[in-house]
Structure 1
């Protein structure tokens, strides 16, 4: 059976994506028009098949290859081969090593106090603002906060002397330059490329210094990323690449997820009050949770999940078939790009009634049991899914708990929030909100 989809275009589909307002919106438009499986052109892949049905997605879950051309923009950040497209025999042990650190409770608990300290510093800064201060731009400030968190997680005690502020500035310099190239953003500064290269060299040199500190100490700590990589005997280049990719993925995921969650709570004050009441009940007079408290913050967890359903930090993913694949009534030939439109999956009305409505009750255990397993996939699926999912969730829950225990967030008057694709699902003009101390329960 022939897969439905739009007519082929001479520009490889670029104009259709632009006309829709970005790939994230194009995926919604396509699936609304053609159904759960669509064949279309994708810049960087002449022919792709997009799958928005969670049951059909299960047939693709085993795929363990990413299309190299789609991820080629990350090549300059890697010295030992683009980590996003490593062949399976290299990727599997590398992934196993990352999961041993990023997904492990011992590592989370070891870094939790530092994460809490950073979240409290952010809350202190916002709590001390004057009533007539300008609204806060959440995305910018919260991605910087999450980058500081992941730097500590990656570098560990051997990186205690690193300049966190300079690392944040350098990484943002690199990220702005390479994402600008990907999305063909005009650059007015003739030195932007040169500064990005200088920043990248600084970041790699910083990682080298931390690695040297681990090795000179005679022991490594597997609860931080570099320590685990050193102990595993990874090459210096692979360690540098891994840290760069981890910083890229982790700081955007957490910062964006928390920003969208506060945006939604600001527009649904009843839900915000319920979160605050739960925090008061669980934490009492404390201003921040312990690691064990996170499991008791059940409504906060439901709110975070509903936020990532409506605004998944990564709006899509992609794999490549290495052999012919049966997908429902369709046959997908080997070498085809399989596109994962996570946003369209999360807004599929067959599994999410009134899909654009904010409703954390969708994530009660009873409601969640009614849906297919892959109806909610904010961190991807299969052997190339996000290794840092557990860590990002802990960070996001902690930051939300600390901020919402002490502060209330309201939409900035007249500010429109529009999601756009910028490697993650980003708000085009930021997420601006007024921030005020809570009248009670500040702890």
Structure 2
């Protein structure tokens, strides 16, 4: 249990009620840290008392912890048959993570799949162009989450989805399952009939398992052909490492879950911010015109020349971190900011509060991609920016996510201008990732690259 002498709200406060009253855990964390300082004790649903740390220097003391609090990740248990991959003991986690990184962080496999990623993105852009011609708006988060799901199936799993509707069905199935099990964990009220919601979750879970079975069957039928692309096939790597069939299935399912949520959401928030900041959008488009010339899509090598686009993406993930928070459980006593934290304490990582810490991010609410120039970044603590988490439990797919996101943004911004639908309100909400309550609805307009203008 957390040290009661750490600053925080009165011990009798109901954590769930306080979070709801604040408008969500994100905003509650900002409020807590503004009132009590960089280290705060608070009641976290699913973990009793927790210690939240919003200072990147203090976070260093926790960076090597390889244990997650099991109760906080119970909601993922229905998706897993081999034990919760998110809370597996460190001795099991380290070799499993090493295998995952050998695939997801490998440059050769990124390059091997890059052209297919570009083709999938161009297909989406064609559909958006058809909508634009008819005057219809696009729903960024829905479409981009489906695109991200298609990408991860092609990349890490060695198989695509069998129909145009399958990606959308997988996305909605994950939403049904997570909504139900998160509500159970946090004892929160969710709109709708409880029996109907439970039935949808059961149907969604069955559909997800059947989808993974089809992916695994496709892999077996191909004889692992995609492994020839340079360890680009996650399934083949897990088989080679001697993982059990249940562990392989769970790894596939968790990769699908993590990748389609976070990458699609990050791209959509980036486009939202650029629509609100036309000067930055113009600068990004001018860079694309300069680097790509008349080409509609970048090659893998072009990404290194899209420095401003990368800064835009990083700044968007600072303001709207797709994975909003993380947690660890201390395995030994720690001292944080002069406060004793005993072993067994849940340490909460409020990514948004860290990213909005004014000590390291002046005027933190302002969108400024040039915060990430080498000069501006020099001297900033490493953990001041943690969109993919930190330490041995950080996101294995971080490198892949950046490649995917930069590629998608490059194709879409080269081809379109984006404007918010008039009167459409964008409200961030927490739904496993930082979602928008009514999606982000945009109109897209074909643009004429600078090099083609008279």
* Superposition TM-score tier, normalisation by shorter sequence: over 0.9
Q: Distance in 1 between matches of 2:154 and 2:175?
A: 19
Contact 2:161 2:167 in 1 (8 A): no
CA distance in 2, matches of 1:209, 1:264: 38
Change (3 A) 1:416 1:144: same
How far does residue 189 in structure 1 lie from its aligned partner after superposition? 8.2
Structure 1 residue aligned with 2:206: 201
Secondary structure of 2:445's aligned partner: strand
Aligned residue in 2 for 1:403: 412
Kindly tell me: are residues 192 and 179 of structure 1, through their superposed partners in 2, closer, same or farther at Cα, counting changes over 3 Å? Answer: closer
Match of 2:291 among 269, 277, 282: 282
Picking from 309, 324, 336, the partner of 1:327 is 336
Question: Corresponding residue for 2:192?
Answer: 187
Deviations 1:148-189 (A, max 9, x none): 111112321xx3574463254034223323224414423348
Q: How far apart are the structure 1 equivalents of 2:200 and 2:336?
A: 47
The Cα of 1:233 is off from its aligned counterpart by 2.1
State the partner residue of 2:166: 166
**What is the deviation of 1:137?**
1.4
Gapped runs of 5+ residues in structure 2?
184-188
Q: In 2, distance between residues paired with 1:234 and 1:441?
A: 52
Are the aligned partners of 1:287 and 1:405 in contact in 2 as well (CA < 8 Å)?
A: yes
C-alpha displacement of 1:229:
1.6
Please give the residue correspondences for 1:331-350 in structure 2 after superposition, counting only pairs within 5 Å: 331-350=340-359
Quick check: 395-404 or 406-415, which moved more? 406-415
8 Å CA contact 1:180–1:186 kept in 2: the answer is no
Give the whole-Å Cα distance in 2 for the aligned partners of 1:36 and 1:70: 22
Contact 1:289 1:402 in 2 (8 A): yes
**Equivalent in 117, 120, 123 of residue 122 of structure 2:** 120
Aligned residue for 2:43, secondary structure, equals: strand
Contact 1:407 1:436 in 2 (8 A): yes
Query: What's the offset of the Cα at 1:110?
Result: 1.3
Q: Give CA deviations for 1:231-265 in whole Å, capped at 9, x if unaligned.
A: 22211111111111111111111111000000000
Q: How do 1:277-426 residues align onto structure 2 when only pairs under 5 Å count?
A: 277-426=286-435
Partners of 2:312 and 2:161 lie apart in 1 by 37
Could you report, residue by residue, the CA deviation over 1:89-133 in whole angstroms, capped at 9, with x for unpaired residues?
111111111000000011111111111011001111112334562
Q: Using the TM superposition, name which of 129-138 and 432-441 deviates more.
A: 129-138
Q: Indicate the larger mover: 295-304 or 146-155.
A: 146-155
Give TM-score, length-normalised by structure 2: 0.92
Worse-matched range after superposition: 95-104 or 219-228 = 219-228
Count of aligned positions = 440
* Match of residue 92 from structure 2: 90
Are 2:14 and 1:19 equivalent residues in the alignment? no
Where in structure 1 are there 5+ consecutive unaligned residues?
Answer: none
SS in 1 for 2:86: helix
Q: Distance in 2 between matches of 1:160 and 1:128?
A: 24
1:147 aligns with 2:118: no
| Counterpart for residue 252 of structure 1 | 261
1:67 and 2:69 correspond: yes
Matched residue, 1:138: 140
Deviation at 1:227, TM superposition (A): 1.9
* Secondary structure of residue in 2 paired with 1:129: helix
User: Which residue number corresponds to residue 7 of structure 1?
Assistant: 10
Secondary structure at the aligned position of 1:400 is classed as helix
Question: Is the 8 Å Cα contact of residues 212 and 253 (structure 2) preserved in structure 1?
Answer: no
| Secondary structure at the counterpart of residue 421 of structure 1 | strand
- CA distance 1:335–1:442, shift in 2 (3 Å): farther
Structure 2 residue matching 1:377: 3-state secondary structure: coil
Aligned counterpart, 1:176: 176
Deviations 1:179-205 (A, max 9, x none): 244144233485553444344334334
Answer yes or no: is the 8 Å Cα contact 1:135–1:412 preserved in 2: yes
Alignment partners' CA distance in 2, 1:161 and 1:143: 14
**Offset from partner CA, 1:310-341 (integer Å, 9 cap, x none):** 00001111000011112131110011000001
C-alpha distance in structure 2 between counterparts of 1:215 and 1:126, whole Å? 35
Q: For 1:169, what is the secondary structure of its paired residue?
A: helix
Q: Is contact 1:419-1:426 (8 Å) kept?
A: yes
After superposition, the Cα gap between the structure-2 partners of 1:216 and 1:398, relative to the gap in structure 1 and judged at 3 Å, is closer
Contact 1:407-1:437 at 8 Å conserved across structures: yes
- Describe the superposition over 1:324-373 as per-residue Cα deviations: whole angstroms up to 9, x where unpaired: 11213111001100000110000000000000000011000010113111
CA contact 1:77–1:244 (8 Å) conserved in 2? yes
The answer to whether the 8 Å contact 1:314/1:424 transfers is yes
Establish whether residue 105 from structure 1 lines up as the match of residue 114 from structure 2: no
CA positional deviation for 1:135 = 2.2
